Amino acid sequence: MEQTFRIDISDILPKDKKPKPNWKAMLSIKRRALSLVPAYSITTHKSQGQTLNNVVIDLKLPNETDDIAAVYVPLSRVKRLADLIILRQSDYKVLLIKP
């Protein structure tokens, strides 16, 4: 997002630097910013049983199959795949275990 402002700075200039009468000292300022959306984080355990609108997961797959629920739970919190963002691509063969 970018905004441009034009500001008359003649009122804030020192008296010895004042512009001539009827002349305005205009300053053009550009401001650039990222549009941010407030967010929060929760643990996998806290998200159990919830349906969320949008989910961003920093997915670190476990080395052992004991913690496979820690991967399944955050992946299953959204209704549509389009509402899910996975930050780390991983080997999904770990998910293909039988219960």
Residue pLDDT, tens place only, 9-34: 877 778 777 667 777 778 888 989 88
**Structural contact between residues 96 and 90, judged by C-beta atoms closer than 8 angstroms:** no
Tokens encoding 34 = 């990222």
pTM across the whole model: 0.51
> What's the pLDDT score for residue 99?
60
Separation between Cα atoms, residue 81 and residue 84, nearest integer Å: 5
Tokens encoding 23 = 């002349």
